[in-house]
Structure 1
Amino acid sequence: SGSAGLDLAASQSAIIQDQSVNILPTRVYGPLPAGFCALLIGCSSTSKAGLFVLPGVIDTNYTGEIKIMAWTPTSPCTIPAGEHIAQLILLPNVQGEKGDSVLGQQRGSAGFGSTGLPRIFWTQKVTTGQPMLTCKVNGRVFTGLVDTGADVSII
């Protein structure tokens, strides 16, 4: 109803024993709704508890299981099955001239990789002010803060 995204939970219990990145299953599978990609980020309560979810982009045509990458600086860390630790935030998928995705390749079920050549669509010098971006997609206007101030995620 009022949530910004879909909460994702670990589908099985896990104990993180060290500071390496752990891949946690969710039993949630793609593809995403037509015309959307998604940003996977951690819940604020998860970060407050000392478990950090590494952000990731889920392509619109990804058909595999959506998994969560997480780590903790203070091990061991126990994650019970069913614990909501991440959020999936749907975003409009950028379309090319012919309606194809910008990258023009099928993702399939192969996760944690990259498709296509690197591209830069927009840059802005970050100064002491907080940069804002306004984007118009299919007649809808989206305005938001570009620098989250966390020195980790710049969207």
Structure 2
Amino acid sequence: AGSLGIDLATTVDVVLIATSPQMIPTGWQKPKDSLGALLLGWWLAGLKGLVVLPSLIDADYTGEVKTVAHTLQPPMVIPVGSRTARVVLLTNLLQTMSLGKSVGNVRGDCGFGSSGPVACLSLQLKSQPTLTVTLLYNGERYPIQLLLDTGADVTVIS
């Protein structure tokens, strides 16, 4: 009940004989609704030397989800039923946005292509995270509101 992702396994025996990426069938189709998905490598497959390329699966894609993977040390045999990837379902937030001129393409069961117009998302400055800090100097209190910018390994207060 606490799992965020769904494990995907191979539907056939796969032999990787080169280091170039290869499509691996999973036999899985995502639910046919407004959900997209993020496909990531399964952690144990990575420890065994299988590199799964992350993929974004569009909400309107209806075909079989396949992983794209390679190994740095061929040959590699992946037996049928081996877990190779994990998929995390995502809500399609773009379906309620107006992105300008629509190109009218629906993904269907055709993968690996452009989804149409480019969307640039940004936050209004007034909705940026702020923090009120009180400075104490010579017994006086000075409350100030600061803008926070949090990165991967640092927090900037300005």
Q: Same fold (TM over 0.5)?
A: yes
CA offsets 1:98-119 (integer angstroms, 9 cap, x no match): 7xxx986411110111210233
- Which letter maps to 1:49? K
In structure 2, do the counterparts of structure 1 residues 67 and 130 end up closer, same or farther at CA, with 3 Å as the change threshold? Answer: farther
Aligned equivalents of 2:71 and 2:21: distance in 1? Answer: 8
- Which letter maps to 2:21? V
Contact residue 14 and residue 79 of structure 2 kept, 8 A: yes
Aligned equivalents of 1:88 and 1:2: distance in 2? Answer: 14
Aligned equivalents of 2:65 and 2:5: distance in 1? Answer: 14
Which residue in the other structure is 2:153 paired with? 129
- Number of positions where the alignment pairs a residue of Structure 1 with one of Structure 2: 126
Q: Percent identity?
A: 35
Aligned equivalents of 1:90 and 1:128: distance in 2? Answer: 24
Q: What pairs up with 1:1-150 in 2 under 5 angstroms?
A: 1-30=1-30, 32-94=31-93, 95-97=95-97, 105-122=105-122, 129=153
Q: Which runs of 5+ in 2 are unaligned?
A: 124-148
Shift of 1:91: 1.1
Aligned equivalents of 2:41 and 2:65: distance in 1? Answer: 14
Aligned equivalents of 1:3 and 1:103: distance in 2? Answer: 36
In structure 2, do the counterparts of structure 1 residues 126 and 60 end up closer, same or farther at CA, with 3 Å as the change threshold? Answer: same
Q: Which structure's residues are more often helix, by fraction?
A: 2
TM-score (normalised: structure 1): 0.71
In structure 2, do the counterparts of structure 1 residues 36 and 25 end up closer, same or farther at CA, with 3 Å as the change threshold? Answer: same
- Which letter maps to 2:16? I
Q: Which runs of 5+ in 1 are unaligned?
A: 132-155
Counterpart secondary structure, 2:45: helix
TM-score (normalised: structure 2): 0.70
In structure 2, do the counterparts of structure 1 residues 126 and 112 end up closer, same or farther at CA, with 3 Å as the change threshold? Answer: farther
Which residue in the other structure is 1:152 paired with? none
For the pair shown, the structure with the greater C-alpha radius of gyration is: 2
In structure 2, do the counterparts of structure 1 residues 128 and 8 end up closer, same or farther at CA, with 3 Å as the change threshold? Answer: closer
